[in-house]
Structure 1
Amino acid sequence: MERKWIYYLGLALVAAIWGANFGVARLAMDTFDPILFVFLRFGLALPFFFLILKLKEGSVGIPLRTALQLAAIGLVGVTALEIAVMYSIKYTTLANSSLLNVAPWPIFAAFFAPLFMKEGISSRLVVGGAAAMIGVCFIILGGGQGFNVSVDNMVGNLLAFGVSIIGALFNVALMPLMKRYSALRVTAWFILFGVVFLFPMTLGSWGKVAWSSLNVGHYSAIAYNVLFCTVFAFVVWNACMFKVGAARANFFRYVVPASAVIAGYLLFDERITGWQLTGAVFMAAGLIWISLERKRTVIAAA
């Protein structure tokens, strides 16, 4: 009998790694331009992906038609998505950005999933997802910033909401390709194309970095982003998402803000409120409820 709990555990672990990266990346942004830092993260990860792919599967190639599909996915899922995340944070409050980036994402994933895969949406998923969403709202808004609907934040709010749409579409678009190829092969190639599209946007940033003054903290931040947030996280997330389905997997993104709150407490002495603790309980209960579903309802689209 398949141990689905391992896949849910993998999703939660990856989301925790991504959430902790909010604190790590915040430290790095004092030195690196955001787009350059994203390029370093994915660009330095590329050799690892292709080396592991070659060692594990014996080849790295893909057909031209698949390459074109993955080029589009890389443009959307790496280049556009990462830039949208950055500028949503720049043009609105952190609370607004976090809530609009994270909360609607699983809903859109469930909405888009039938376009790519035949995924059943059970009552357990609806109930567990609703509890997890309530929890993540408490975690984000319970930090004290609140949700700001002023006109000044409108551009950032729209970008943040767009991240949920783009990200969900990106996730479910991977599913049919992972039916034909391994998650590792698909991931390596869409990241390659994403890096190619990112590179021209970094040309004005390289000379602004005082490379000779980089210290252990900077190199540690880069290593964490490359090895954990990208190589490990993308392979594990995509493999686990394929096993449990895009709709179910994406609700585990709600672990991201909880992990970010913990990182803020450990790295920046930020306060954790009672509302956030209550939200963590709701979120954990919802995700556990989803993960206890016995029957797998993911079937490849014809």
Structure 2
Amino acid sequence: MKSNNWIYYIALVLVAAIWGANFGVSRSAMETFDPVLFSFIRFGGAVPFFFLILKLKEGNVGVSRRDMLALAGIGLVGVTGLEIAVMYSIKYTTLANASLLNVAPWPIFAALFAPLFVKERFTRRLAIGGAVSMVGVSFVILGGEEGLSLSSDNMVGNMLAFGVSIIGALFNLSCMPLMKRYSPLRVSTWFIFFGTLFMFPITLGSWGKVDWGSLTAEHYTAIGFNILICTVFSFVAWNGSMLKVGAARANFFRYVVPAAAVAAGYLFFDEQVTGLQLAGTAFMAAGLVWIGMERQSKG
């Protein structure tokens, strides 16, 4: 592996940590906003920044008509559909179940489906590192207070969460061929635009429920963090790094998200961190380092 590839792995860890920490940042905002409305504000607020940066950086914002249809489909599934599915999976099952079934299988499906979209092999090193990382992230999630619930009452939510891992992997992979023709910035700009457009009708009943005059600096900080850091910066950095290191490798770095969420809970909400979670973080880090050490020429 070329030494400068570590820049992309560091970027993947940073983005995953940002997304994990955002569970804590958004928690208080969800008491004021309907979850779908908050998602719309996050992605919709990011759209003008995406187009402005794209215009300034690349001189134009266009894509072909055929690719625009593909990007509309990616936005519908990967932004509108995925965000709603995640929210309802959390509603109909426990947070631990949703996290485990959403996060843990996602990279496995990305690695298995990758050959359908790009020329990537599922190597032995990737399998070993991925397995170790998955054990680690399972410890992180199950080591919390909730643990795993096998109640039949959670079946709908469990199925939704597991479906998210499949759809999410396909969503990531479907961007890869487009990023061979366009920059990650251009691809992100357009699928987020379409995802936001399709999400808007679902929010129509929620705007009047918000007491806009009572919003505080904390609310605006959470909105700004979600727009600028969690969306504009993170999507471009993630997609750009995924293009460089490969979709299969990149998606295993999603395992940093639950660990970052646990750390945010400890730092900002006085939540306890267990020994099992610390051990899981160590396992996960070891697996990700092992994956990162593989030469791409072998992948």
Same fold (TM over 0.5): yes
Inter-partner Cα distance in structure 1 for 2:29 and 2:88: 16
Count the aligned residue pairs. Answer: 298
Inter-partner Cα distance in structure 2 for 1:297 and 1:157: 36
Q: Which deviations, in whole Å up to 9, do the C-alpha atoms of 1:151-199 show, x marking residues without a partner?
A: 1100000000011001000000000000000000000000000000000
The aligned counterpart of 1:156 is 157
Inter-partner Cα distance in structure 1 for 2:288 and 2:94: 27
Which amino acid is 1:43 matched to?
Answer: G
Inter-partner Cα distance in structure 1 for 2:298 and 2:64: 30
Percent identity among equivalent residues? 71
The aligned counterpart of 1:147 is 148
CA contact (8 A) 1:119 1:297 kept: no
Asked if residue 107 in structure 1 is aligned to residue 98 in structure 2, the reply is: no
Inter-partner Cα distance in structure 2 for 1:110 and 1:3: 23
The aligned counterpart of 1:230 is 231
Which amino acid is 1:96 matched to?
Answer: N
The aligned counterpart of 1:219 is 220
Structure 2 alignment gaps of length 5 or more: none
Structure 1 alignment gaps of length 5 or more: none
Q: 1:265 to 1:247 in 2, by over 3 A?
A: same
SS in 2 for 1:62: coil
CA contact (8 A) 2:112 2:122 kept: no
Asked if residue 97 in structure 1 is aligned to residue 98 in structure 2, the reply is: yes
CA contact (8 A) 2:19 2:257 kept: yes
Q: 1:184 to 1:297 in 2, by over 3 A?
A: farther
Q: Which deviations, in whole Å up to 9, do the C-alpha atoms of 1:94-134 show, x marking residues without a partner?
A: 10000001000001101111111110222111111111000
The aligned counterpart of 1:136 is 137
CA contact (8 A) 1:14 1:237 kept: yes
In the TM superposition, what is the alpha-carbon distance from 1:144 to its structure 2 partner?
2.4
User: Normalized against structure 2, the TM-score is what?
Assistant: 0.98
In the TM superposition, what is the alpha-carbon distance from 1:296 to its structure 2 partner?
3.5
CA contact (8 A) 2:107 2:251 kept: yes
In the TM superposition, what is the alpha-carbon distance from 1:297 to its structure 2 partner?
4.9
The aligned counterpart of 2:47 is 46
Q: 1:253 to 1:56 in 2, by over 3 A?
A: same
User: Normalized against structure 1, the TM-score is what?
Assistant: 0.97
Inter-partner Cα distance in structure 2 for 1:69 and 1:137: 34
Structure 1 stretches of 4+ moved >4 Å:
none
1:1-302 superposed matches below 5 A: 3-297=4-298
Q: 1:70 to 1:206 in 2, by over 3 A?
A: same
In the TM superposition, what is the alpha-carbon distance from 1:93 to its structure 2 partner?
0.3
In the TM superposition, what is the alpha-carbon distance from 1:268 to its structure 2 partner?
1.2
In the TM superposition, what is the alpha-carbon distance from 1:294 to its structure 2 partner?
2.1
